[in-house]
């Protein structure tokens, strides 16, 4: 079975968040299920520079305002087709934003082009190769089935995966002709979404199946509170909407072999983990024998980290330290920076893959007070590295972390701490609960070992995706 994945991010070529990890890991996991994935990506500079065995396979005279070349290549074992179109993607930095943090003004064209090429690959754009199923990720791929439905040619089944309903790909209706879609597509059963074009909405409406990245989030987005204006449509998809939990690539995230660590360790050599904590504390001037929290996150309101400054007095009272690695909304970055005190907080505003690995390996507990979380990967990375996640009971966080309540502690199954809501009181209570368990070294280490043996890989979920694809062909 041949699957074409359409995505705007792919680890290790281009990453702003978990979408890249998922798109990068699924092809390898699906190969075990006899599914061959080819991934279509925008040819951002980092993508073109990172491809190996790259060769041009097709030229397009005019792709929304300029010429394009399809380049076929590899990233590790993964097969990639990149769209080399300098007028659309030849810009350094973030895939979606300019250097002042504003959306690129032509994002509609940039990602419609991605979807258009995806649809045209179904129609034999590269002679001799046609996918059986197209798997689109997020709003950037949402128009694939619109092109398949509303323009001439062969169609193929489309699976729409929602990684985050908060990003819906909304653009003015007037752009429709520029995107090469007929006005007949602009209806409630097509691309229209609350008076504009909604690319994710189009994908959700027109896909043969819709998935999202955890069972709990699949339920949450069908409610008015969690549905971001799409709950009615999502409910109408009934059993075509499924929640398939994300995993992480356990070869990339492996504390036994991780070159970013000061000291590698396993469940059996847990005591070696300390060296990573010592390295972090030395780097940031923190007390090595105190409880140490970590944060690795986009700094946005989704992630609830605006709650953090108000909880620092609680951390102080508990004698705990914290290491924060994050980047995002400037006002949030500033608020955290303003609250930082030397000796209590290590703060790095930016993106640093190696430091992220060291934080999972060296802090005791990872704070993830998200307001909503489709799946979340950092709790999985943390658990794999014996760092206990402290999470809000929402979305994929609810599905992956077993709360250290009395019963779970007694049954020796707890893997982290859940809090009922993303608010200051819940966060403070959670911090105190963590400190109480941490005082009991035996209980803490038992939780670490439980967390480290939790099944966080892709095997089970890849089988679910493969079964879904097979239903369709």
Q: Minimum distance between the CB of residue 375 and ligand GLC, rounded to whole angstroms?
A: 4
C-alpha span between 331 and 334 (Å, rounded): 5
**Residue 176 · residue 197 · CB < 8 Å:** yes
Q: Is the preceding peptide bond at 12 cis, omega within 30 degrees of 0?
A: yes
Is 221 a binding residue for ligand ADP by CB under 6 A? The answer is no
Site residues (CB under 6 A) for ligand ADP, limited to 274-313 = 296-298
Spatial CB neighbours of 164, under 8 Å, sequence gap ≥ 6: 19, 138, 302, 374
C-alpha span between 473 and 471 (Å, rounded): 6
| CA neighbor of 453 nearest in space, from 256, 213, 216, 215 | 256
Stretch of 14-22, 110-118, 230-238, 267-275 lying at the interface with ligand ADP (CB under 6 A): 14-22
Binding residue for ligand ADP (CB under 6 A) from 3, 7, 9, 21?
A: 21
Q: Indicate the residue whose CB is closest to ligand ADP.
A: 18
Q: Minimum distance between the CB of residue 380 and ligand ADP, rounded to whole angstroms?
A: 8
- Among ligand ADP, ligand GLC, none, partner that 296 touches (CB below 5 to 8 angstroms by kind): ligand ADP
Burial class (CB in 10 A: 0-12, 13-18, 19+), 315: buried
Q: Minimum distance between the CB of residue 26 and ligand GLC, rounded to whole angstroms?
A: 10
Residues 42-81: x/- map of binding to ligand GLC (CB under 6 A)? ----------------------------------------
- Strand bridging mode 78-84 / 158-162: unpaired
| CA neighbor of 139 nearest in space, from 234, 8, 252, 231 | 8
Tokens at 241, concatenated: 């909407």
Binding residue for ligand ADP (CB under 6 A) from 95, 326, 362, 395?
A: 326
Q: Between 17 and 45, whose beta carbon lies closer to ligand ADP?
A: 17
Q: Between 209 and 277, whose beta carbon lies closer to ligand GLC?
A: 209
Is 300 a binding residue for ligand GLC by CB under 6 A? The answer is no
Query: For 290, how many CA atoms within 13 A lie in the half-sphere containing its CB?
Result: 21
Stretch of 13-21, 183-191, 306-314, 382-390 lying at the interface with ligand GLC (CB under 6 A): 13-21
3-state secondary structure of 191: coil
Is 47 a binding residue for ligand ADP by CB under 6 A? The answer is no
Is 375 a binding residue for ligand GLC by CB under 6 A? The answer is yes
Tokens at 423, concatenated: 């608010």
Is 373 a binding residue for ligand GLC by CB under 6 A? The answer is yes
Whole-number Cα distances in Å, 364 to 220, 357, 373, 431: 30, 13, 22, 12
- Among ligand GLC, ligand ADP, none, partner that 213 touches (CB below 5 to 8 angstroms by kind): ligand GLC
3-state secondary structure of 134: strand
Site residues (CB under 6 A) for ligand GLC, limited to 392-411 = none
Neighbours of 127 (CB within 10 A): 8
Is 112 a binding residue for ligand ADP by CB under 6 A? The answer is no
Is 249 a binding residue for ligand GLC by CB under 6 A? The answer is no
Applying CB under 6 A, the residues found at the interface with ligand GLC are 17-19, 22, 163-164, 213, 246, 373-377
Applying CB under 6 A, the residues found at the interface with ligand ADP are 17-19, 21, 296-298, 325-327, 351-353, 356, 376-378, 381
């Amino acid at each position: 079975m041949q699957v074409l994945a359409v995505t705007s991010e792919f680890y290790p070529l281009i990453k702003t968040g978990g979408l890249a990890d998922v798109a990068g890991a699924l092809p390898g996991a699906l190969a075990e299920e006899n599914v061959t994935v080819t991934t279509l990506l925008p040819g951002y500079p980092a993508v073109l520079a990172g491809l190996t065995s790259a060769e041009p396979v097709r030229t397009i005279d005019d792709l929304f305002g300029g010429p394009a070349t399809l380049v076929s290549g590899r990233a590790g074992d993964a097969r990639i087709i990149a769209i080399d179109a300098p007028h659309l993607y030849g810009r350094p930095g973030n895939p979606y934003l300019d250097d002042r943090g504003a959306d690129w003004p032509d994002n509609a064209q940039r990602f419609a082009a991605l979807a258009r090429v995806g649809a045209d690959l179904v129609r034999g754009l590269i002679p001799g190769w046609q996918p059986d199923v197209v798997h689109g990720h997020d709003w950037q791929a949402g128009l694939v089935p619109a092109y398949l439905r509303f323009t001439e040619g062969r169609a193929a089944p489309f699976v729409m995966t929602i990684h985050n309903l908060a990003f819906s790909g909304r653009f003015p209706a007037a752009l429709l002709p520029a995107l090469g879609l007929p006005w007949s597509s602009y209806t409630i059963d097509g691309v229209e979404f609350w008076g504009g074009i909604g690319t994710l909405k189009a994908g959700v409406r027109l896909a043969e199946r819709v998935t999202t990245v955890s069972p709990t989030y699949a339920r949450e987005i069908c409610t008015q509170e969690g549905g971001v204006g799409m709950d009615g449509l999502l409910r109408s998809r009934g059993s075509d909407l499924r929640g398939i939990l994300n995993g992480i690539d356990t070869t990339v995230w492996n504390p036994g072999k991780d070159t970013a660590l000061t000291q590698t360790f396993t469940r059996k050599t847990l005591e070696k983990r300390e060296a990573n904590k010592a390295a972090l504390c030395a780097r940031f001037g923190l007390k090595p024998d105190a409880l140490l929290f970590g944060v690795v996150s986009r700094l946005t309101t989704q992630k609830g980290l605006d709650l953090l400054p108000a909880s620092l007095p609680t951390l102080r009272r508990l004698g705990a330290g914290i290491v924060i690695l994050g980047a995002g909304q400037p006002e949030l970055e500033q608020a955290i920076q303003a609250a930082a005190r030397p000796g209590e907080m290590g703060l790095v505003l930016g993106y640093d893959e190696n430091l992220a690995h060291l934080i999972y390996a060296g802090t005791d507990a990872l704070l993830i007070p998200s307001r909503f979380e489709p799946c979340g990967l950092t709790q999985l990375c943390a658990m794999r590295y014996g760092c206990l996640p402290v999470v809000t009971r929402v979305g994929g966080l609810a599905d992956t972390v077993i709360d250290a309540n009395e019963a779970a502690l007694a049954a020796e199954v707890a893997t982290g701490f859940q809090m009922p809501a993303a608010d200051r009181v819940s966060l403070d209570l959670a911090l105190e609960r963590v400190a109480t368990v941490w005082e009991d070294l035996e209980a803490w280490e038992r939780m670490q070992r439980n967390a480290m043996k939790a099944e966080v890989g892709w095997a089970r979920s890849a089988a679910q995706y493969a079964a879904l694809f097979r239903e369709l062909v």
